[in-house]
Structure 1
Amino acid sequence: MNGLVKDLPDSRSPALGLVQPTEEEKLRQMKANAVAWRGALSLDAYLKREKFLASRELTQNGGLTYWALVDKAAKERLVLAGCETYRKRAIVAQNGTVKDVWCHGIGSVFCPPELRRRGYAARMLKELGEALKIWQADERESLFSVLYSDIGKEFYAALGWEPFKSAHISVPCTSQAIANELHDPLSPVHLLYADDLPDLCADDEKLIRQSMKMAPSGKVHVAVVPDVETILWHHAREEFVAQELYRRAPDVKGAMVFDESGKRVWCYWTRMWYNEDPTDDAGNTLHVLRLVVEGEGTLNWETQASDEMFLRYVPSIAALIGAASQEARAWNMANVEIWNPTKIVIEAAKTVYPSAEMVHRDSESIASLRWYGERLSVGPVGSWIDWLGNEKYAWC
């Protein structure tokens, strides 16, 4: 490697290009990036997990693509930087017109430590950004791509992926938090299982489409579809890690308050283990993937918070957070996190745990979006694009 590093090309060289890596190159890249991405898993288990996740319904048939920047002229090809993209169904609405498009989610951007500060990651992303405009666009347009930056906001913004709201509220899974859980006799909690997900995801998509039709003109409204394939990918990831750590997998996938169609409030969640010690909960987090309020329409409830909505939904959402806290505690989680909560969700979290506070992320998991369609303004895309459902489910 040392000899190769000395002879590496300039990142501006026309000999560099973006390719789909070979199986051998993918394996070398995964072994190199394992320290960053394996979490609580051993190297061997991490490699098995990535192979397992590549076979899920979301990632089959072109749903997952690996990318690498290489020197095409080199006799011995070396991956200078790599990443992967997930093809996701998305919806774009403007002035009452709703369009089905692709969104490509970018994940695992990695440059080996010995090759950093040479501009390779930036060169790869510049080429990838252009490639994704037309990648797999034979069936439908690719109008935007997303990524979640763990290196702050500036690097990816300079390459076209502009930062959006990236905040969360966290409820610790302590006995105090669970003791303060709100038990509303009018809001009994029903636990959700894998068999419940297909119908609920389909209902959620209908709500999003209805909301987008009602969206005010003058802005572009986008959403990654929280379809069952996406939710099941998160659960497959969770189940694999649980089996490795505890030799069993969780079957509770979320919770619901009320069960009458048109009045339901529900959420899906996933557990993420970061601590290599399976007996230590530090760092382990139950993430709420998606929170759905059925009665008001997704756009109204997410962007408006009337006094009536507070009275109606705070007790229900508090009950869901309480159920999530109990489930998290049972699986050695330290916290429950909800991304980009509304005022109603914040109030509900404080009902469960009065000291809960908003965290505005500025270095990790920064939701970032690059727009490929016509720009409405020369200003930041966040000033004229509303990203609905900017929640954990869209992460990759």
Structure 2
Amino acid sequence: MLRKSAPTPEECAQIWSATAASWKDSLTLPEYLAEAQYLATVPLARDGGMTRWIFVNKKLPPGQRQAFCSCEAFQKRALFSDERGNVEECIVYGVASVFCPPEYRGRGYGTRFMKELAKVLKRGWQPELSRKIIGSILYSDIGKKYYARLGWLPNPRNGHFVCPPVEVKKSELSVQLIPESGLKKLCHRDEIMVRRAMATPSTIQKRVVILPELDHMLWHIRKEDFATKHIFGKKAEAKGVIAGNPGKQVWAYWVRRYYKHPDHPFDEDGGNVLYILRLVIEGDFTANKPSEGHLSLAAIEAYTEQAAALQAVLQAAQTEAARWRLDHVHLWEPSPLVHSLLEQSSFNTAWV
């Protein structure tokens, strides 16, 4: 059964040791164990923001039981909106680090675990929460079928742009670097725009958006800091860049991910990645509004200034990737406007 009590420190170490082969990236096992403990103390995870779940034999006491499966669930602040634009704050749970040790696979443990978890996520387990729980999400690297059978339906429009690392001279980049101290203000501006978009009436009956708040950014950034300190002995100062004039600005936050040490060769399809965590275009009328297809040329021409700023931001991301010995830049699920601007440009990108 799913245990409401938290796994013991020894059980956590057991779980992390089992997941290390898949998820420790460039770290050694001791460093990976230290990272897991550390990430539980940073924003988004601490103070009940993250809950660990394990699937065990309920007849055995802690210290004698084996974790057949495990995962984490994060609270994520979200907004719900109806077709009239009535907005309500809510909670979406983010399911992460779902794992079943190889020796227990093929026995139905994973399916049973996720079915039990779905029930718990639906009814909630934190009575202190004042906001309504409206659902859960998870990210899968094992394809779309397994979790769809258990109720987590795949996003039909899931895709991302990939850019190569290319270093551009600093004097040629018309951008300003965003230090960590600058993130809070930009996240606040972003949230205001998200709320405004969600308050706009729509033909879509139900809309949900997870707020791109500072705590989300900091969780990823702290993970990056841990890795870059291990590899390079320092952390990166630039957490993103901003370009353009007020009212038509474009900015992005990013994070560096080292799946292997940069000195180690990768397979042809692998590599270390600079992930763009969030890309914002002021005035993007397609942001947070699901839309099929691409924009017309007339609609794109209205964003000439933002198009130039977008190119500057992506060039800065490519430069950062080159300087930090990363192999790719990834931009996940851009808005219809961003997708159309990049397709109409000569920028070197591939859609995956």
Q: Decide: shared fold, TM above 0.5.
A: yes
Deviation at 1:190, TM superposition (A): 1.1
Deviation at 1:21, TM superposition (A): 1.6
On the 8 A contact 2:249/2:309 being kept in 1, the answer is no
Q: Deviations over 1:43-95 (max 9, x none)?
A: 11111111111101211110111000111024631111001111111111112
Q: Does 2:126 align with 1:136?
A: yes
Partner-residue secondary structure (3-state), 2:139: strand
> After the TM superposition, which residues 5-24 of structure 1 pair with which residues of structure 2 at under 5 Å, given as runs?
16-19=1-4, 20-24=6-10
Q: Distance in 2 between matches of 1:40 and 1:102?
A: 33
Per the alignment, residue 208 of structure 1 pairs with 194
From the superposition, tell whether residues 259 and 199 of structure 1 become closer, same or farther in structure 2 (CA, over 3 Å): farther
Structure 1: tracts of 5 or more residues without a match: 1-15, 360-396
Per the alignment, residue 109 of structure 2 pairs with 120
Partner-residue secondary structure (3-state), 2:90: strand
Higher relative contact order (CA 8 A, sep 6+): 1
Question: C-alpha root-mean-square deviation of aligned residues, in Å?
Answer: 2.5
Structure 2: tracts of 5 or more residues without a match: none
On the 8 A contact 2:273/2:327 being kept in 1, the answer is yes
Deviation at 1:218, TM superposition (A): 3.6
Per the alignment, residue 363 of structure 1 pairs with none
Q: Distance in 2 between matches of 1:166 and 1:271?
A: 21
Q: Please state which structure has a larger fraction of its residues in strand.
A: 1
Partner-residue secondary structure (3-state), 1:44: helix
Q: Distance in 1 between matches of 2:261 and 2:252?
A: 28
From the superposition, tell whether residues 64 and 173 of structure 1 become closer, same or farther in structure 2 (CA, over 3 Å): same
TM-score (norm 2): 0.88
**Letter in structure 2 aligned against 1:206:** I
Q: Distance in 1 between matches of 2:154 and 2:288?
A: 23
**Letter in structure 2 aligned against 1:100:** E
Aligned residues: 337
Deviation at 1:302, TM superposition (A): 7.3
> After the TM superposition, which residues 268-307 of structure 1 pair with which residues of structure 2 at under 5 Å, given as runs?
268-278=253-263, 283-297=271-285, 299=287, 303=291, 305=295, 306-307=299-300
Per the alignment, residue 70 of structure 2 pairs with 82
Q: Which of 6, 26, 35 does residue 40 from structure 1 map onto? A: 26
On the 8 A contact 1:106/1:147 being kept in 2, the answer is yes
Q: Which of 322, 325, 350 does residue 332 from structure 1 map onto? A: 325
From the superposition, tell whether residues 256 and 55 of structure 1 become closer, same or farther in structure 2 (CA, over 3 Å): same
Deviation at 1:136, TM superposition (A): 2.4
TM-score (norm 1): 0.79
Q: Deviations over 1:292-313 (max 9, x none)?
A: 1122456378747413344232
Q: Using the aligned pairs only, state the percent identity.
A: 34
Out of 135-144 and 96-105, give the one that drifted further: 135-144
Per the alignment, residue 219 of structure 1 pairs with 205
**Letter in structure 1 aligned against 2:87:** V
Partner-residue secondary structure (3-state), 1:67: strand
On the 8 A contact 1:171/1:353 being kept in 2, the answer is no
From the superposition, tell whether residues 321 and 142 of structure 1 become closer, same or farther in structure 2 (CA, over 3 Å): same
Deviation at 1:357, TM superposition (A): 1.7
> After the TM superposition, which residues 1-396 of structure 1 pair with which residues of structure 2 at under 5 Å, given as runs?
16-19=1-4, 20-74=6-60, 76-95=64-83, 96-133=85-122, 134-136=124-126, 138-164=129-155, 165-174=157-166, 178=168, 188-260=174-246, 262-278=247-263, 283-297=271-285, 299=287, 303=291, 305=295, 306-346=299-339, 349=342, 354-359=347-352
Q: Distance in 1 between matches of 2:202 and 2:324?
A: 42
Q: Distance in 1 between matches of 2:137 and 2:60?
A: 32
